Structure 1
């Protein structure tokens, strides 16, 4: 498996490949969730490109850009075992050279949830994903559903801008105890790791109540908040029940209602979600 760090090299590599190209964009420090995307990409495509790039323009002031975990050699091993043909790991200067001044902005759907609490975040996401799609020119690109809003935003952008790529959303991968896999989990100490289980407990509490017939969004929210409130280090950024297509808030839940939440455990911000009617 090759590792490429320039756009020119990446294009030259792909010019010699036939068939369908799949792209799996990541910020590195790969885990089983990323590996599941690459295995699915391997199943669907002839060439699998995994990008590893910690994108500075999607981090706000005071966020964890500098402390975001990085280990390219580890990423190479995981990506290779999962079936990637090449890692594209450009530098910041390669992606945003001096004088760079072009950005992609999706409105509406970016204004809530993570978009409300992280101004400018999705402008950074859509800009870097557009650049990666332009560089790699994949037929398919795969994203995890843990970042549900990100997936929705990218699908909106691709449709609105008539991009010739299929966006594939893949299920959340969890630890046996329910914690959603995230590169940021590496920053939790042992006590915080236990506290972080309040996110999945919140989701499961709401799903259980929904399965028993509860449909009030206010009641379901209260039930979800209870396990988070029991953890001293947990601070809720948001917890909302939304329409899974528009991300607009709902007062009455149905099978397709999304429960999305973001919680800080100490200084580590974690996100998770579920569709109430899904197994």
Structure 2
């Protein structure tokens, strides 16, 4: 029996027993952020499936596919401790067998932010998530807010393709000093780890500027100033991929009438590309 058929057999048996199927797709190198997604599925009394697969089609030619941390035995133990019911850890030939041709386009939501700086990345994400959904056939899937653009794109794909899957997006898990948890944090040196805090600090500065009534250009400039203060002007110019204040649903530039906003950024600290974001409800937060 193939690994795909085996997964479907276990999922079908769980569904026949009256279980709801929850799914947490990951690329491994699990940390507390991933575990929080698993716990979210477990709290819903779901039969919880976790995939561990480093998907090659979402990496560009000069990105860190070969260097991306692969820690399967540690990940398997973490899944066991978290109460995962089934791990799906396929190989490349399983997910992209000979003759495989179909790809899923992420659409216009991928034209900005990370998509602008990583061409084709979200097409690869949509393709693998669609394939994983086809294997697992979950009732709901859990994603993290840290990858805000990804979560929006997956939700849109699910809606556009009429997939009967709820997309549950959970809050960012952070270190005590505010750094968003990421598998790529392992790349950071001690000095780079300190510098990495400038991204989250810049987002909070942008939030304060936003709630004080500043226009978008001033908000973004305020965010940039925080990164410059930490890294210096020349290094900041090289480090910043983007800093934006956008509509949280459309990713279009914010206007005076935008109430649900996303402040987001990507910076490169050494060889490590980090992303982070803050959701701001302008109405609830006082303006």
- CA RMSD, Structure 1 to Structure 2 (Å): 1.7
Residues 191/6 of structure 1: CA separation in 2 closer, same or farther (3 Å cut): same
Confirm whether residue 242 of structure 1 aligns to residue 246 of structure 2. yes
Shift in Å at residue 254 of structure 1? 4.8
Shift in Å at residue 116 of structure 1? 0.9
Shift in Å at residue 74 of structure 1? 1.1
Shift in Å at residue 50 of structure 1? 0.6
CA distance in 2, matches of 1:252, 1:78: 45
Confirm whether residue 13 of structure 1 aligns to residue 10 of structure 2. yes
Count of matched residue positions in the alignment of Structure 1 and Structure 2: 275
CA distance in 2, matches of 1:207, 1:81: 37
Alignment of 1:67-86 (within 5 A): 67-86=67-86
User: Could you give the per-residue CA deviations for residues 96-140 of structure 1, whole angstroms, max 9, x where no partner exists?
Assistant: 011211111131111111111111101100000001111001000
Residues 135/48 of structure 1: CA separation in 2 closer, same or farther (3 Å cut): same
User: Could you give the per-residue CA deviations for residues 165-223 of structure 1, whole angstroms, max 9, x where no partner exists?
Assistant: 10000000110000000000011111111110011101111122333x22311111111
Alignment of 1:162-241 (within 5 A): 162-211=162-211, 213-229=212-228, 230-232=230-232, 234=236, 235-241=239-245
Shift in Å at residue 251 of structure 1? 4.5
Alignment of 1:1-279 (within 5 A): 6-17=3-14, 18=17, 19-211=19-211, 213-229=212-228, 230-232=230-232, 234=236, 235-252=239-256, 254-277=258-281
Secondary structure at 2:29's aligned position in 1? coil
Report which of the two has the higher share of helix.
2
CA distance in 1, matches of 2:139, 2:172: 23
Residues 27/39 of structure 1: CA separation in 2 closer, same or farther (3 Å cut): same
* Runs of at least 5 residues in structure 1 that lack an aligned partner in the other structure: none
CA distance in 1, matches of 2:241, 2:128: 25
CA distance in 2, matches of 1:253, 1:226: 25
Secondary structure at 2:146's aligned position in 1? coil
Shift in Å at residue 28 of structure 1? 0.5
CA contact under 8 A between 1:221 and 1:241: conserved in structure 2?
Answer: yes
Shift in Å at residue 93 of structure 1? 1.1
CA distance in 2, matches of 1:214, 1:196: 27
CA distance in 1, matches of 2:147, 2:45: 23
Q: TM-score, normalised by structure 2?
A: 0.91
CA distance in 1, matches of 2:280, 2:221: 15
* Runs of at least 5 residues in structure 2 that lack an aligned partner in the other structure: none
CA distance in 2, matches of 1:148, 1:202: 17
Residues 5/217 of structure 1: CA separation in 2 closer, same or farther (3 Å cut): farther
Q: TM-score, normalised by structure 1?
A: 0.94
CA contact under 8 A between 2:207 and 2:263: conserved in structure 1?
Answer: no
Segment of structure 1 superposing worse, 165-174 or 93-102: 93-102
